[in-house]
Amino acid sequence: MADSPGWMLYGANGFTGRLITAESVGRGMKPILAGRSADKIERLGQDADCPCRVFSLTSVDEVVKHLDGVSAVLHCAGPFSQTARPMMEACIARGVHYLDITGEIDVIEWASQQSDRARTAGVTLLPAVGMDVVPSDCLAALLSESLPNAVRLELAFSGELSVSPGTAKTIWQDIHRGGQVRQDGQIVRVPAGWKTLEVPFSRKSRLAMTIPWGDVASAYHTTGIPNIEVYAALSRKQITQTRRFRWLVAMAGLTPVQWMGRRWIDRRVSGPDERELLHGRTEFWGRVTDGDGRTAEATLETPNGYTLTVQTSLAVLKQVLEGHVAPGFFTPARAFGGDFIRQLSDVTFQWIDRPGS
């Protein structure tokens, strides 16, 4: 990909952005590093020997001006509920392919609604090309292929990795909204920690609770399965506290409380350390069920979420820059198939229950 057309990494100075910068430069690429903080972007550009552009996302017209000579944008600046729409609008207006690493349901849904506009403009829209949601989206696709008439999909993940400041801010921004699942094809709100499930991950079983994860949106567009729930493995104490303090969580939506939370994150959250990045693992589990009660079930194990995001985002970017993805909206597994995740390094997939096996 060293000789591929120019591409932009927006949010390059964030935790994940810096990891992607380092890996892409190590592969011989020179992305255009972009973001709104002049000091941080220019310093990073100098260290990485890459071109820089400094601009905010407050005006679509202004963003369009900064996309000159750019074939694709890999957007890494969250919270994506605030940043994805202006960047996506600018990319459609300028004829630039759009990728991001969101895991936010509303962002994926909004992108899906722009598919016709993007197709007319010759633009590929491929949100959620990181750990949220590439592995689980591919797992959902493999399960759906094994049981084509499935009507229910359950997904879960487990990982003990520290989160980056950007991820923490995204979680904090949406925590007051409770949970979300898909029922009969529609996204519906449910209380935080609505349901629990004992999940048989590959290493050991763990208790998990429902969370509003991106697959509630993406897996529906990938598989068409109308009922989707996503679970995260947590301790019994964490689940109990989540349910006990639902009333308090609702207060997190107040503007002063949001501001205080973001300030606290800026001071206290730094992201995973080098040991976590080198040795951390993430486990996934999925099960589909059809109307007759038949099931298909499998597990997936990958590197930690940040290392995996670097791998998946650059792998997807390569395919887009080489013209292998048509214009319009795609989920990762719709674009590349369920086996896409199995082509990456250090990934293990295993069937637990497969019809006909």
Q: Taking Cα atoms as reference points, which of 229, 204, 343, 223 lies closest to residue 286?
A: 229
284 Cβ neighbours under 8 A, 6+ residues apart:
135, 136, 139, 155, 156, 157, 158, 201, 299, 300, 301, 302
Structural domains of the chain, with CATH: 7-130+307-336 (3.40.50.720), 134-305+341-353 (3.30.360.10)
Compute the Cα dihedral for 215, 217, 223, 229 and give only its sign: positive
236 Cβ neighbours under 8 A, 6+ residues apart:
207
The whole-number pLDDT of residue 94 equals 98
The whole-number pLDDT of residue 195 equals 95
The whole-number pLDDT of residue 260 equals 76
Angstrom distance (rounded) from CA 266 to CA 38:
19
Tens of pLDDT along the chain (357 residues)? Answer: 444 569 999 999 999 999 999 999 999 999 999 999 999 999 999 999 999 999 999 999 999 999 999 999 999 998 999 999 999 999 999 999 999 999 999 999 999 999 999 999 999 999 999 998 999 999 999 999 999 999 999 999 998 655 556 665 665 566 667 799 999 999 999 998 899 999 999 999 999 999 999 999 999 999 999 999 999 898 888 788 777 777 666 776 667 766 776 777 677 766 677 777 676 899 999 999 999 999 999 999 999 999 999 999 999 999 999 999 999 999 999 999 999 999 999 999 999 999 876
Rounded (5°) CA angle 267-268-272: 125
Q: Are 293 and 147 in contact (CB under 8 A)?
A: no
The whole-number pLDDT of residue 221 equals 99
The whole-number pLDDT of residue 3 equals 45
